Amino acid sequence: MIYFFCHCFQNNLFNFKTLDSNEFSSRFSYDIGFLRRKHPNPAQHTGLSDEEKQVIYDLQEEDPAGNRVFDSYLENALYNLSTKPLVFQRGVKTVSRNGDSVEYNTKCIYRLKTIPNFS
Q: What is the pLDDT of residues 59-103, one digit of tens each?
A: 999 998 888 899 999 999 989 888 887 766 666 666 677 777 777
Asked, for residue 96, whether it belongs to a domain, the answer is: no
Q: Rounded CA gap, 48 and 34, in Å?
A: 25
Question: Which structural domain range is residue 5 located in?
Answer: 1-36
Give the Cα separation of 48 and 68 in Å (integer). 16
Q: Is a pLDDT exceeding 70 seen at residue 13?
A: no
* Residue 47 domain flag: no
In this prediction, residue 116 has a pLDDT band, given cuts at 50, 70 and 90, of low
Burial grade of 53 (CB within 10 A; 0-12, 13-18, 19 or more): middle
Task: Measure the CA angle with vertex 93, ends 107 and 108; round to 5°.
Answer: 20
Neighbours of 51 (CB within 10 A): 7
**Residue 17 maps to a domain:** yes
100 falls within a domain: no
Residue 92 domain-assigned (yes or no): no
Provide the domain count of the chain. Answer: 1
104 inside domain: no
- Average pLDDT of the segment spanning 24-30: 89
In a domain, 119, yes or no: no
